[in-house]
Amino acid sequence: MTLPDLLKIAFVGDYLPRKCGIATFTHDLRGAVAGSSGAECIVVAMDDIDHGYAYDDDVKFQVAEQELEEYRAAADFLNFSNVDVVSLQHEFGIFGGPCGSHVLALLQDLRMPVVTTLHTVLSEPDQTQRAVMAQLVRLSTRLVVMTERCRETLLNTYSVDSEQVDVIAHGIPNVPDIDQRVLKEQFNVENKAVALTFGLLSPGKGIEHVLKAIPEIVARFPDFIYLVLGATHPSLIRDQGERYRISLERIAKELGITKHVSFYNRFVELEELTEFIGAADLYITPYLNVQQAVSGTLAYAFGCGQAVISTPYWHAEELLADGRGVLVPFADSSAIAREVIGLLADDGRRLAMRAQAHTLGRSMTWDHVSQLYVNSFNRAREQRSTPLKPLAVRTLDEQPLALPQMQLDHLQHISDSTGVVQHAIYTIPDHTHGYCTDDNARALILTVLLEEQGKDSPEVHSLASRYAAFLNLAFDRDTGRFRNFMSFDRKWLEADGSDDSQGRALWALGTCIGRSRRAGLAAWARELFHRALPACEKTTSPRTWALGIMGIQEYLRRYSGDRDAALMSQQLADRLVDMYVATATDDWPWFENIATYNNAKLSHSLITHGRWCDDQRAVDIGLKSLRWLCEIQLSPQGRFRPIGSNGFSREGGVAAKFDQQAIEAHAMVSAAIEAFAASKDRFWNEQAHLAFDWFLGRNDLGQPIYDASTGGCFDGLMENQVNENQGAESTLAFLLSLVEMRGFSAAMRVISFSP
């Protein structure tokens, strides 16, 4: 069957003026395909900053990379736009969710064939990366890789059908021949030997190893110049500023080579880039990651006819084989010096290498590459030749339930320069009761989880610093314990805080250590964690033990080899197990003769400890006790009904129905997510949603407990009405539940994908 010509193609990925290699590739590919196919070529751009970039008219839709719902909206947009085929540019780091899993939501809903270009193909993926890749392969009609090595990895590591894969080289511009002498004069490097490295600057590029080779090179070629062209990677700028570039400049100064090194700290356009390449005598790519599947800068330099010296990462190893370039060991400055000297001293060899690269490069020009992509697009259409309706109606059972947007307005409103205020009168901060360590610890955990999910805005960083500063002030270094209550005029109201505040602070510190990328925050938390940990052993409250276990397990995410911390987790878990064994019966499988507050955290801590410390008995007790708690917290209408604080629940008695507290809903949400991770039993998926829905109005009064406009949360459900005060504990319980449910929803998309 002959298909009609391609009329509309959508390219999904990063896009210029965003400064990254994927953005440049998507831009160049779109332009080349538009020229070779005559089709309308539109772009769906991924944004990593608020409000995105100043795109040109090619971009028709923007997706905030961390917002799952925007991927679904993008799919709807493409379905209604009569797109013939989607060209997806895939790199794990440019999409939101665990290992970029948010993009699966877009692919799931698309009604046209998808051709996915894989810019990274991992040979040793972790469990989540493998699961994401499996779904990506299943939802893509065809796959494009840029090297034979990547094709072999797809076949051997991911069991992909070879008929599904096209190998298409990274495209390069068709550069006109310009006299090198003219270009050298243009850059004022005439009569000098010039080596070039270009691309976005980051530590993985290995520039420092070239710098260390230069003293040996200039001993032989005194007029040698090394040009490092490119701005620092924007994400590195956000996290570390120009620390890496500054360190390179200091290395050059220390080596006495400042006259032989030039840094061009900017993102250059294609025309200027090709002039830099033409002015150089050779190109150096000293990257440090062996599994780098493709390098656009290598492709450009090689295709433009440069002699290349490179470390043997995958792309270079394949492209420079058979004498087309020179390979040197990773991080080997002596080898770099030797090969640079060798090429500069042998004009015949260097020029022959350049000629060979230029000849092969003609098959890599965008004119040629774009036609190969068009062929792949048409093959994809042939494989999906049955017409599909532009919109498929999905029932709620066929898609994840929507979650509220994350709103931090109320949290910011009740936070000041000291920390988060405990209580509120309606939405107005109530300064009468001041602050407490418990709430500031909860708030600090929230900011770290937001950072982990890509919500690491300056506002979130500022809040995190305030909450951390409160914990730092609360800690008594003489006793190793945290004070809890502080008045509004910043006076401590006690010499020693509660055991629970000790455990909750430890949990917050462990979370900073185990999850935060902010080096200063993690280092501060580590110092305080070790000082505070011993006090947990002396406490008598089972909930403190549970909170302590949570903190230790978070800490062990980063320092899994810390035997003392692991031993403390085991000791605290053993205490909970002993309590359970001493108290539990068939009718009352619980740790105490009364179930009071924050109940699910007891079960949760045992499941967490057991999962990571290979203690199946702890897992089993945690799951059994949590399942029982679910049963007694279920109303006749099938809604989550947390044990009320007005009487709690005693063995042999009737559980109090009111007042229902937000902390109980959050504890169950969190515990159910952990239970699912431990057992993969879908019962726990349902329980997590059931408990979370309590906030949304699926409760005894049928009224929402959270404020959708600000992210605040009411202080509880009473017998006849909602307590309309929006204090810190309830607000943080909701926000923590929401951030955990957002992460869980993304993880569920990977674990159990709905076709």
pLDDT at 753: 46
* C-alpha distance from residue 165 to each of 142, 143, 157, 249 (Å): 6, 5, 14, 44
Q: What is the pLDDT of residues 1-11, one digit of tens each?
A: 567 788 899 99
The answer, yes or no, to whether residue 195 has pLDDT greater than 90, is yes
CA distance 484 to 502: 8
The answer, yes or no, to whether residue 96 has pLDDT greater than 80, is yes
- Under 8 Å between Cβ of 233 and 207: no
The answer, yes or no, to whether residue 635 has pLDDT greater than 90, is yes
Domains of the chain and CATH, by start: 8-171+367-385 (3.40.50.2000), 180-362 (3.40.50.2000), 407-413+435-583 (no CATH), 594-750 (1.50.10.20)
pLDDT at 683: 97
pLDDT category at 124 given cuts 50, 70, 90 is very high
Give me 626's structure tokens. 């949590």
pLDDT category at 755 given cuts 50, 70, 90 is very low
Is the Cα dihedral 152, 154, 160, 166 positive or negative? Answer: negative
pLDDT at 548: 98
The answer, yes or no, to whether residue 395 has pLDDT greater than 70, is no
CA distance 589 to 592: 9
pLDDT at 580: 98
Q: What is the pLDDT of residues 677-688, one digit of tens each?
A: 999 999 999 999
Q: Which of 41, 63, 66 is nearest to 52 (CA)?
A: 63
Q: What is the pLDDT of residues 231-266, one digit of tens each?
A: 888 877 777 788 889 999 999 999 999 999 999 888
* C-alpha distance from residue 352 to each of 159, 172, 315, 324 (Å): 40, 20, 21, 9
Q: What is the pLDDT of residues 442-462, one digit of tens each?
A: 999 999 999 999 888 889 999
pLDDT at 400: 63
pLDDT at 467: 98
**Whole-number percent of the chain with pLDDT over 70:** 96
The answer, yes or no, to whether residue 522 has pLDDT greater than 80, is yes
Other beta carbons less than 10 A from residue 387's beta carbon: 7
- Under 8 Å between Cβ of 489 and 479: no
Q: Which of 344, 432, 318 is nearest to 727 (CA)?
A: 432
Average pLDDT over residues 175-202: 83
Q: What is the pLDDT of residues 728-741, one digit of tens each?
A: 999 999 999 999 99
